Homo-oligomer: A and B are copies of this chain.
Amino acid sequence: MPTVPHIEKHFTATENVRDVVIGMADGLTVPFALAAGLSAAVTSTGIIVTAGLAEVAAGAIAMGLGGYLAARTDAEHYAAEEAREGYEIDHLRDREIREIETIFKEYGLRGKALNSVVTAMTSNRQRWIDFMMRFELGLERPNPKRAPISAGTIAASYLVGGLIPLVPYMLTSEINKALQISVGTTAIALLCFGAIKGHFTGVNRFKAAAQTLLVGGLAAGAAYWLAHLFG
């Protein structure tokens, strides 16, 4: 479909950043919270490391494959909707022309201007489909190479994020000491990640850093409390 160049750029950057954010947001939070929670319930760092690594492996695979399937589903959804629009243009031509008219009427076009834009838009079948895909359904033609890139980016981000809170439990067998170091390093990592995420999403960096730390802290606090209750 026809594109204004800077749209493409905008969307590609966003997709990769979004995948890193998806993976790392959960990777930094859930394994950290699990390890903190187990610190209240078990007596050996070995179990925490085992549970943590099992969680990181499961999370990275589940989220990575989830991202792979989501990208594939987007591509299939686009193809299915494109075929449907094409069918409607071929078989329900009058209705589709009225849809185009309705869209431009809502932006204030009337009379000759409306007629000429509708005539131009509907004179080329592929362009007509492209316009309806983009405007009516809000769909961009997906990048066919997206799925494996998305899967790898999400899984790697989860893995990196998830290992940060676990390393302290690997280095010492004193649970309380490991917990303290894990809390400290993960808090710093959450603040940095939040600030970087804020930079890319256009949110104030300090606010984004504080929010990210809060989410991690609440999740870990709840896990700790629950594990303490049952442990």
Contacts and interface: CB of A to CB of B under 8 A. Distances in A.
A117 B108 contact: no
A218 to B, nearest CB: 6
B26 A62 contact: yes
Interface stretch (A89-97, A130-138, A180-188): A130-138
Interface in A30-58: 30, 33-34, 37-38, 41-42, 46-47, 49-51, 53-55, 57-58
A42 B25 CA distance: 29
A102 B65 CA distance: 39
A119 B102 CA distance: 18
A14 B59 CA distance: 24
Given A107-B2, A203-B73, A219 B113 contact: no
B113 A53 contact: no
Interface stretch (A142-150, A171-179, A223-231): A223-231
Contacts of A223: 54-55, 57-58
Chain A contact residues: helix, strand, loop or mixed? helix
Given A41-B47, A49-B230, A65 B215 contact: yes
A69 interface: yes
Interface of A: 2-4, 7, 10-11, 25-26, 29-30, 33-34, 37-38, 41-42, 46-47, 49-51, 53-55, 57-59, 61-63, 65-66, 69, 73, 76-77, 80, 99, 102-104, 106-110, 112-114, 116-117, 119-121, 123-124, 127, 130-131, 134-138, 140, 201-203, 211, 214-216, 218-220, 222-224, 226-227, 230-231
